[in-house]
Structure 1
């Protein structure tokens, strides 16, 4: 059970992330897409399915978005309407700034008897106007629904500049977050720097560490690489060179992602940091989606080999 694994602060939690179809997609087509997603993923032995709430993020960077922003179906609606037949726990991303306090409170208080999971996302930039702040979202959830397990976003690459991502993580934990998911991980040094500071800070403050799920996303083309960089994913120069100059960029990115996770997972085991993984495809190309599924299998093998 995902809830128990999170509560026990276990290593090895494995999830997969998807984005709902575009909001104006024909209902019959949406059903077809959801059935394909279920068929592709249901036999992977996942602990949970992450369903993203996509933001435009136009305020975050001045560069033109490589792929146009298209509004998607609300992740909560998509899960309840199209994914309900698959009983894997659903982890709903929620961009809390888009809601009024009343709207958010109504959503949080719904289905109080069910175990629910959500990752709360704040503003994508300081320029973005929000109607609800993250601390208020945490406060409302703590008071309204004890069966909603809160998660947060952690960005190890932000630690390079600000050196305080571990403090942010601990603050969110105190506010009620029980687990964290990173953005796509290609910078292993930034990730280990964050984990090291997180470990020693928690040890000094006598705070129990919570699961950190490192996100992995294969890159299958120069266009996908450009989009990843636009999203703010930190890709070291040497690694970008390896991808750009490889004979098969997709195979190379899967191999690099696998090795990065293996290094981070081993580092976590040595220090007792509960490390997990979430895999996604930022591209809708079939070949990249299939590569992400293969990456799930390879990550699972890494986790199982370290348990034996």
Structure 2
């Protein structure tokens, strides 16, 4: 997901090494016996960190086409960032997101999307650190599941093969194609899928789902089915502000699966984001996010767009959760900030906390 030039978005920790879970038993308070959930039995044995629980939950949701997940998306720092500041940025990120019961961390791989539209980008584009390298070098404290985006047009087939061979077991990936047919690329999205198929990589592969494209063409369900047959096992949407388009896409995907007897529903992860300023609203539009006219007007007129957008995102999460449960489609939410402003980043963290309360995990 393309983001503002000055976005040093945080990375996250999923209660690394601090909180522990023992089966269905909760950890005892000092001097007290373990508190056990109804129907569970307190037993002795190895404990699992929250990060390990998240890794297992992602695997189970994909394998059994059942479950509800919570992700958080970040963008690595700009390449122009002082190298001495990178550890501090990573540490601040981990601290900010500590305490969220996250199932996965998404690291975006930005590409220049100026060829996609004639509109001027609200923020100048700036190259960012490679997400895989940034995670390996600066986010070692993150022990949970991660999803590394790959804007495949930036890489040769050999580079993609190397990534697939060296990716840790707890890492998945999402391939992203060129922003437009006029963008020069080293490898097409179709070629990337071929590389993945030939390499027989154990790395789980995901893809992008775009409700706005479905609203325009009505065929996103066909793309999702095709991508599943190319090896994709989960989908992540771009930022959702128009919940109707998202529901239409999920509905048509569920119907399409009725004729695809050999395919199970893949988890659809809806991306949510707050909007704390008119500049952020402008950037969302530039990214291709459909913000309904009524909501856009409200965001422009209110004195507190951050609170209004957060309330809208929570409402969208509630509605999409209920609808996916109704259809039997595994789902989840990915929360991100499209701005590097501290107030918007912290509001996104709070949004992730609120959304986590809606999920049945």
Between stretches 214-223 and 241-250, larger displacement belongs to: 241-250
Conserved 8 A contact 1:220-1:250: yes
Residue 13 of structure 1 aligns to a residue whose secondary structure is strand
Q: Would you say 1:144 and 2:181 are equivalent positions?
A: no
Counterpart in the other structure of 2:14: none
Runs of 4+ in 1 over 6 A off after TM superposition: none
User: What's the offset of the Cα at 1:145?
Assistant: 4.7
**What is the CA–CA distance in structure 1 between the aligned matches of 2:97 and 2:198, rounded to whole Å?**
34
Preserved CA contact (<8 Å) 2:164 2:201: no
Deviations 1:71-99 (A, max 9, x none): 10000110000001210212100001111
Q: 1:142 and 1:277 mapped to 2: Cα distance?
A: 28
What is aligned with 1:74?
130
Structure 2: gaps of 5 or more residues: 1-55
Verify: 1:86 aligned to 2:158, yes or no: no
The offset of 1:179, in angstroms, is: 0.4
1:115 touches 1:147 (CA, 8 Å); kept in 2?
Answer: no
Q: Is the 8 A contact 2:146 2:170 kept in 1?
A: no
Q: Give ranges in structure 1 of 5+ residues lacking alignment.
A: none
Q: Which residue of 2 aligns with 1:277?
A: 333
> Does structure 2 conserve the Cα–Cα contact (< 8 Å) formed by 1:44 and 1:296?
yes
Take 1:115 and 1:66, find their aligned partners in 2: how far apart are those partners? 35
Q: Per the alignment, in what secondary structure is the counterpart of residue 205 of structure 1?
A: coil
Q: Does 1:260 align with 2:316?
A: yes
Which one of the candidate residues 124, 145, 159 is aligned to 1:103? 159
Alignment-derived partner of residue 228 in structure 2: 173
2: CA distance between counterparts of 1:195 and 1:176?
Answer: 19
For the aligned residue pairs, the C-alpha RMSD in angstroms reads: 1.3
Q: TM-score, normalised by structure 1?
A: 0.95
CA drift of 1:6 comes to: 2.2
The question of whether the paired residues in 1 share the 8 Å contact of 2:165 and 2:201 is answered with: no
Matched residue, 1:287? 343
Is 1:129 aligned with 2:189?
A: no
Q: What is the TM-score with the length of structure 2 in the denominator?
A: 0.82
**Residues 1:21 and 2:77 aligned together:** yes
- d(CA) in 2 for partners of 1:228 and 1:6? 30
Q: After the TM superposition, which of the residue ranges 113-122 and 69-78 deviates more from structure 2?
A: 113-122
Determine which structure has the larger helix proportion and give its number.
1
1:209 matched residue in structure 2: 265
Please state if 1:117 is matched with 2:172: yes
Kindly indicate whether the alpha-carbon contact (under 8 Å) linking 1:6 and 1:210 is maintained by their aligned counterparts in 2.
yes
Match of 2:118 in 1: 62
Asked if structure 1 preserves the Cα contact closer than 8 Å seen for 2:69 and 2:359, the reply is no
Worse-matched range after superposition: 140-149 or 16-25: 140-149
Instruction: Point out the more displaced range, 82-91 or 179-188.
Output: 82-91
The 8 Å contact of residues 268 and 330 in structure 2, kept in 1 or not, is answered as: yes
- Partner Cα separation in structure 1 for residue 194 and residue 175 of structure 2: 12
**Could you tell me whether the CA contact under 8 Å between 1:53 and 1:94 is conserved in 2?**
yes
Q: Is the 8 A contact 1:96 1:122 kept in 2?
A: yes
2:88 aligns with: 32
Instruction: Work out the CA distance in 1 between the residues paired with 2:66 and 2:92.
Output: 30
Structure 1 residue 223 and structure 2 residue 279: aligned? Answer: yes
